[in-house]
Amino acid sequence: MSIPSSLTHFAASVSILLSTAPVAMADTVHLKNGDSLSGRLISYEGDVCVFSASYGTGLNIPGPDIASLQTDHDYEVRFKNGELASGRLMSNGATLTLLTSTTFGEVEVRMTEIQALTRSFVEERNPEAEDVPAEYGERTEQPPLDFLVGSTVLLGPGEYEFDMGLVYKQSRRQHNLFDVGYFQKSSYSARVIQFEPTLRAGLFDRLEGHLAVPFTYTSVEDVSSNEYVSTTGAWDLADIGFGVQYQWLDETSAHPALSFTFDIGAPTGRKRYNDAANRWKDPLNNGSGHWNVAPGIAWVRSTDPAILFGGLSYQHFFKSTIDGYAVKPGWALRSYLGAGFALNEKLSIGARFSYSYSANLKADRQIIKGTDIDPADLAFNLSYRLRDDWVVSPQIMLGLNDDAGPASMSLNLKRQFN
C-alpha cells in the first residue's frame, strides 16, 4: 500500500512541530533509566518523590531512581546530615543536580543526600500587581488533553463535561458513459453528518462514566445516467453508547497508569441487509443492529516531552433477528497506540494509530465467509482552550486501507463543569 505524498508531507510537518514543541509543565525529573518526566513536584521526603504528571495523576518515584531534578520555584532543602539550604534546583545534563541560592551560589547536590524538599512561599507581594492578568505563556491551568479521553480517568468525583461532536465524511466514485452521451456520468456518492453529544462524569474516586447519543443525517445519490437517478436521505438516531472506566494503577517510574474500560452499545440505530436492487441504500445504516459489550484495558505513560497511550478491547455482539434472518456478527478485537504533546496551557496536539479485526458474521447459524474486516486508520487532533471551561478540538482521520472507509473530519466543542 502506497502512502500519498501529501500525507507524507503532512506527517513530516507534524514531526517537525512535535520535535520543537515547548513543554507546558514546569518541573522536570530525569530518571537513571534515561526517561524524563514533566509535571509538578508535589513532595519529596524520605527518598520518595511524589510527582504530578501532565495529565494530573500522582507518581510515586523512589529517590534512588532519580538522576537529577529541576524545579521552577525555590525550595528549602533539608539534607540527611541535618543541614538546611534554600534555592532553586537546576538540572545539568540530566545527570547532575545544582542548587542555586543567594547564600551559597551554585553548588552540586546528590539526590541521595536529600531528606526532604519544602516549597518556599516567602515572596514579596506587590499589591498593585495582584489584579494584573497572567502574561502570555505563563501556566495558569492544566493544558487540554483531549487525546487521552478513553485512555485514563480525567474527571474527579462531581466533575462532568458535555461534549458536542460533529463528524463529516463523504464517499464518491464516478466514470464516463460515452455510449449514452459524451458528457454523461455514472456516479455514486454518500455523505454523512453525525452529531454526537456525549456526557462524561466523574462518578467516584478513580471511576468515570460516559453516555453518547448520536444522530446522523445521510444523503445518497446513485446515478446511472441523467435518465436514471435515485436519491434518498434520512435523519436517524444512531446506536447509543455508554460505559465506565476505572483507574486501576497510577503511573510510577516502574509502570504506566493502567485502567479498565467497559462499554455497552444499544441497537437504537438503523440496520438493514438490503437486497441487490437496494444495496445502494447501505450508507443509511448507522448502527450495528445488536447489543454489544466491550471490556478492555488502557494505559498511559509520560516521557518528556510526550505522553504515550494505548489500549486493547474485545467486543462481543449478541444475536438478533434482522430482515427475517437470525444474525450474529463476529467478535472484534480493537487496539490503538498514540502520542500527545502539551504545548502550553491552552494548546495540545495528538496522533493515534488504530487497528481492529472483526470476524465473519453468522446468518441462520451459517458462517458467511468474506465478511471479516480489519480496518486501520490514523488520526490527528488538536485541542485549544477557548476559555477556562471551553475546549475546541478539530480532528482529521485517514483510512489506511479499504476496510477503514473514507477520510473524515470532526469538530468537538467541550464544556466542563465542576
Ramachandran area for residue 67 (φ above 0: left; ψ -120 to 50: alpha; else beta) = alpha
Given a contact cutoff of 8 angstroms between Cβ atoms, the answer to whether 356 and 332 are in contact is yes
What pLDDT was estimated at residue 326?
94
Cell numbers given for 190: 454518500
What pLDDT was estimated at residue 105?
72
What pLDDT was estimated at residue 143?
80
What pLDDT was estimated at residue 136?
34
Which amino acid is present at 359?
A
- Distance of alpha carbon 293 from alpha carbon 52, whole angstroms: 33
- Distance of alpha carbon 220 from alpha carbon 188, whole angstroms: 8
What's the Cα-to-Cα distance from 304 to each of 4, 64, 346, rounded to whole Å? Answer: 31, 19, 18
Q: What is the pTM of this model?
A: 0.73
Q: Mapping DSSP to helix (H, G, I), strand (E, B) and coil, where does residue 79 land?
A: strand
**What residues contact 230, with CB distance under 8 A and at least 6 apart?**
221, 222, 223, 280
Given a contact cutoff of 8 angstroms between Cβ atoms, the answer to whether 223 and 254 are in contact is no
What pLDDT was estimated at residue 388?
82
Given a contact cutoff of 8 angstroms between Cβ atoms, the answer to whether 30 and 68 are in contact is yes
What pLDDT was estimated at residue 79?
85
What pLDDT was estimated at residue 17?
44
- Distance of alpha carbon 386 from alpha carbon 282, whole angstroms: 39
What pLDDT was estimated at residue 251?
82
What pLDDT was estimated at residue 252?
77
| Per-residue pLDDT tens listing for the chain (418 residues) | 444 444 454 444 444 444 444 444 468 888 888 777 777 888 888 888 887 766 655 677 888 888 888 888 888 888 888 888 888 888 876 677 888 876 667 888 888 888 888 887 654 444 444 444 433 333 345 788 899 999 999 998 989 999 999 999 999 988 888 777 778 888 999 999 999 999 999 999 899 999 999 999 999 999 988 888 999 999 999 999 999 999 998 887 778 899 999 999 999 999 999 888 898 999 999 999 999 999 999 999 988 778 899 999 999 999 999 999 999 999 999 999 999 988 888 899 999 999 999 999 999 989 999 999 999 999 999 999 998 889 999 999 999 999 998 899 999 999 988 7
- Give the H/E segment covering residue 132: none
Judged on CB neighbours under 10 Å (0-12, 13-18, 19+), 34 is: exposed
- Distance of alpha carbon 62 from alpha carbon 303, whole angstroms: 17
201-207 long-range Cβ contacts below 8 angstroms, 24+ apart: 201/155, 201/159, 201/160, 201/161, 202/153, 202/155, 202/156, 202/157, 202/158, 202/159, 202/160, 203/157, 203/244, 204/157, 205/156, 205/157, 206/153, 206/246, 206/247, 207/153, 207/244, 207/245, 207/246, 207/247
Question: Which residue's entry shows cell 516531552?
Answer: 305
Residue 290: closest CA among 309, 257, 254, 315: 315
Element counts in the chain: helices (H) and strands (E): 1, 28
What pLDDT was estimated at residue 92?
74
Mind listing the domains of the chain with CATH numbers? 26-121 (2.30.30), 146-417 (2.40.128.130)
- Distance of alpha carbon 258 from alpha carbon 268, whole angstroms: 31
What pLDDT was estimated at residue 141?
59
